[in-house]
Amino acid sequence: MGPAAPHLPGGAAGRGPVRQAREFVVRRYLIRKLTTYVLAFFVGATIDWGIPHLMPGNPVQLFLSKFDLEPGGYAALYKTMSEAFGTNLPLWDQYWHFWDGLVHGDLGVSIFDFPARVTTLIFNAIPYTLALLVPAIVLSYLAGNRLGAAAARRKALDNTLLPAGYIFQAIPYPWLALVLPYLLGEVWHVFPISGGYDETLLPAFSWTFISSLLYHWFLPFLTVFIVSLGGWAIGMRNLVIYELENDSSRYMRALGASERLVRRYAYRSASLPQLSGLALQLGVVVGGNIVTEIAFHYPGLGLLIYNAITDEDYFLLQGIFIFIIIGVLLANFVIDLVYISVDPRTRLSMQGAFS
């Protein structure tokens, strides 16, 4: 899915001594980047650990408030559970245990869904979130860019699409997440309004179940798609108009290039800032979309974050944010790598730095 990496002119690999020199530069560049990422991960994970632990309230107390216990029993169970979660230890020790678990791939035990493992909860939820958000973001990006570019050169389309785009972009998402399910679910009964699949089915690798997944997936997907579409379209329209008017386009026209070729290059240049927006959105995709997932009771990471916050589930919250941190850093790292091979200006600047 997504467009193929563009093959820009001048992308042929270097030869001979130039190539060796470039490899050295690339290695030095990667080491510098990796160090930055490790440092960023350390700081990010520390903040991730710190925020829930510094929140007011006590998760064990909240957990035991559901027990309806006699006072004597409460004291003993409070001690047991505090020990089980390690919340009785000094903060410094808790911090050390956090890192110790983290390097062993152990994110601990959830409090709100005790005694489920945090990793189990997260891995159960991740597929729903990715399946919901990646298509919604990528498809709205593709469709929005096409529409925006088309609007930039057709007056009629511009006059209709631009106001529509502004309206879509200005719609408060929670409102859309109420109105669409109300119309398509409650009034016309076209789509179900909640859940990841039909509750009368059991998860299985069968067409019945998969179609139920798709059926429940469509409405939340549609709401995210719609609100993202307007923004992409307007952004692309403005960028293309700007590119068509700038000096490089004029120069191409002066050289006798066809209007079609000028438009193609303008579109490509205009895509760059759009792509950066796309990258930012995809980087945080593992965080889920909290509002969508609550509104549709969609069993992804956003809903899990909400549960973790309301129940002060330190460990679940930490675990999810670790995944978000990794997701963002990974996205950045991949961008850094791809950027070396894709953008000719980068390579030129690196050579320049070396020679």
Partner 1 sequence: MRGMTKAGGTARWAAGAVAVAMILATASACTSSPSSSSAKPGTTSAASSAAPAGTLSGFPRADTLYTSGTAYAPPSNWNPFNLGNYATGTQGLVYEPLFLYDPIKNKYDPWLATSGTWSGDTYTIQVRNGVKWSDGTPLTGADVAYSINLAMTNKSDPYNSNVSTVTSATASGNTVTVRFGSSPGYAEWQDYLWKAPVVPQHIWSKLSAAQQITGANTNPVGTGPMLLDTYNPTEVAYKDNPGWWAISQLGLSFKFKYLVDVVNGSNNVELSALTAAQIDWSNNFLPGINELVSGLGGNAGYGIKTYYPSSPYMLSANTVWLEPNTAKAPMSNVNFRKALAYAINPAQIVSVDYSGITRAANPTGLLPNLSSFIDPSVVSKYGFSYNPALAKQYLAKSGYNGQAITLEVPDGWTDWMEATSIIAQDLAAIGIKISLIYPQDAARNADLTSGNYDLALDNNASLDSSPWSYFERVYNLPIQTQQTAQLNWERFSDPAAWKLVQEAGATPPTDTAQLDSIYSQLEADYLQQLPQIPLWYNGAWFQGNTQYWTDYAANGTSDENTPVMWGGYLGAMTTVYALAALIPAKPAA
Which pair of structure tokens corresponds to residue 175? 């409102």
Q: Pick the closer one to partner 1 by CB: 134 or 164.
A: 134
Q: Pick the closer one to partner 1 by CB: 31 or 167.
A: 31
Q: Is the CB of residue 202 less than 8 Å from the CB of residue 110?
A: no
From the list 2-10, 28-36, 88-96, 224-232, the region that binds partner 1 by CB under 8 A is 2-10
Cα 129-127-174 angle, rounded to 5 deg: 15
Separation between Cα atoms, residue 355 and residue 264, nearest integer Å: 34
Query: Tokens 């997936």 appear where?
Result: 217
What binding mask, one character per residue, do residues 308-347 give for partner 1 by CB under 8 A, x or -? -xxxx-----------------xxx-xxxxxx-xxx-xx-
Site for partner 1 in 83-112 (CB under 8 A): 84, 110, 112
Separation between Cα atoms, residue 134 and residue 140, nearest integer Å: 10
Separation between Cα atoms, residue 189 and residue 150, nearest integer Å: 35
Separation between Cα atoms, residue 21 and residue 310, nearest integer Å: 55
Q: Is the CB of residue 153 less than 8 Å from the CB of residue 102?
A: no
Query: Which DSSP letter does residue 109 get?
Result: B
Site for partner 1 in 212-251 (CB under 8 A): 213-214, 217-218, 221, 242-243, 246-248
In angstroms, give the least distance from the CB of 128 to partner 1.
5
In angstroms, give the least distance from the CB of 16 to partner 1.
26
Site for partner 1 in 271-310 (CB under 8 A): 271-276, 278-280, 282-283, 285, 294-295, 297, 299, 307, 309-310
Q: Pick the closer one to partner 1 by CB: 223 or 271.
A: 271
Q: How far is CA 135 from the centre of its chain?
A: 11
Burial class of residue 307 in the structure, from the number of CB atoms within 10 Å of its CB (0-12 exposed, 13-18 middle, 19+ buried): middle
What binding mask, one character per residue, do residues 42-71 give for partner 1 by CB under 8 A, x or -? -------------xxxxx-xxxxxxxxxxx
In angstroms, give the least distance from the CB of 210 to partner 1.
4
- How far, CA to CA in Å, does 68 sit from each of 65, 71, 75, 111, 256? 6, 9, 12, 17, 82
Site for partner 1 in 119-148 (CB under 8 A): 120-121, 123-128, 130-132, 134-135, 137-138, 141
From the list 88-96, 163-171, 202-210, 224-232, the region that binds partner 1 by CB under 8 A is 202-210
The residue from 47, 208, 259, 261 that contacts partner 1 (CB under 8 A) is 208
In angstroms, give the least distance from the CB of 276 to partner 1.
3
Size of the site for partner 1 (CB under 8 A): 121
In angstroms, give the least distance from the CB of 298 to partner 1.
9
Q: Pick the closer one to partner 1 by CB: 36 or 269.
A: 269
In angstroms, give the least distance from the CB of 160 to partner 1.
27
Residue 9 as a binder of partner 1 (CB under 8 A): the answer is no
For residue 23, which phi and psi values (nearest 5 degrees)?
-60, -40
Separation between Cα atoms, residue 243 and residue 262, nearest integer Å: 9
Q: Is the CB of residue 213 less than 8 Å from the CB of residue 202?
A: no
